[in-house]
Amino acid sequence: MYPAAMDLRQLEIIRAIADTGSFTAAGEKLHVSQSAISRQILVLEEELGQPVFYRIGRRVRITPTGDSLLQLSHRVFQDMDETITGISDKRETLHGTLRLVAGMTVCLYVFPSLLAEVRRVFPGLDLKITVGGIERSVAMLRSGAADLGLVTLPVKAPELVSQPVLEEELLLITYPAHPLAQKQRIRPVDLHGQPFILFEAGSVTRRLVDQFCAQEGIEPDIVMETENVEIIKAMVHFGIGISIIPWQAAAAEVAARELFCSRIEGHALWRQTGWLFPKTSRPPRPVSELIRLFGEISARFENEARAPENY
């Protein structure tokens, strides 16, 4: 058992003696006198009851006990270095530019609070944001025009890393006076013959809706396609058609009774959102820090992404 009085300075002295081969050289390395080095080793040996170094003339040789302490010093100082480096990395202010790309819904309902948090924690980081569908997002990440994307998954791009972080529930929306809004439950058969305003063909969300319609044998009368969820909501509000959109995009209008929303009986519709970035051995620190920060506050987005049970 090592003595309670042993401290980091004694471990440092043991390392210096082992490195230089003498008490005198160790003193020079640590900028203390040779007598101070000898005194510290003597005190340690008395406490241990065993020699730490053998003195052979002006030369010294480490003992098995001393070697155990030397190995301990390596571990202790390595742990200290790693801990201090980790603390410094977290506190170091990030500088430079982080170029982000995301779809309309993410930019409207996820990025505002997330990026406000990023600016609070890393005020020196310059954020550049591009709104783009999945094809544009992938193209920008492939070309190096963007560093990080938050997109609807899955994405087929082997040169990019995808990291799921959020599931968003998709619900049917209509205007409050629509006949469907008067039903206690909405079944797939109720959607036959209804005009639909949908996300553009090719988007992941549109593919989910198309799969649902094909499974139920629904042939939607598509009166409009757009990537802009605000346009979709406006068209639904004025009775142009019905739609299926993420809950968080409709929540405010539903609360204000400007829109009606409902789950479709027998169908849980969800889309997965995740980070997308170029595949490298180690992502740039701004990328990893933003992903880490999202993880710390992700609960707020998860709560907003699922509708209450009564819908």
Q: How far apart are CA 311 and CA 307, in angstroms?
A: 7
CATH of the domain at 26: 1.10.10.10
Q: How far apart are CA 50 and CA 288, in angstroms?
A: 49
Domain housing 82: 8-91
Structural domain ending residue among the three candidates 57, 91, 125: 91
* pLDDT, the chain, mean: 90
CATH of the domain at 251: 3.40.190.10
Same domain, 158 and 207: no
> Over the stretch 279-306, which tens digit does the pLDDT of each residue have?
987 888 899 999 999 999 998 889 889 9
Q: How far apart are CA 11 and CA 76, in angstroms?
A: 9
Number of domains the chain contains:
3
> Over the stretch 100-157, which tens digit does the pLDDT of each residue have?
999 999 999 999 999 999 999 999 899 999 999 999 999 999 999 999 999 999 999 9
Q: Which amino acid is at 104?
A: M
8 A C-beta contact, residue 157 and residue 135: no
Structural domain ending residue among the three candidates 44, 76, 91: 91
Q: Which amino acid is at 88?
A: S
Name the token pair of 286.
């701004």
Same domain, 122 and 252: no
* 195 upstream amide cis, omega within 30 of 0: no
β-bridge pairing 148-153 and 96-102: parallel
**Single pTM value for the model:** 0.69
Q: Which helix or strand (DSSP H or E) is residue 45 part of?
A: helix 34-48
Same domain, 192 and 64: no
Q: Give the residue-averaged pLDDT of 95-100.
A: 91
Same domain, 122 and 196: no
Backbone angles phi, psi at 127, to 5 degrees: -100, 130
Same domain, 261 and 191: yes
Same domain, 177 and 246: yes
Q: How far apart are CA 244 and CA 225, in angstroms?
A: 12
Same domain, 144 and 288: yes
Same domain, 50 and 194: no
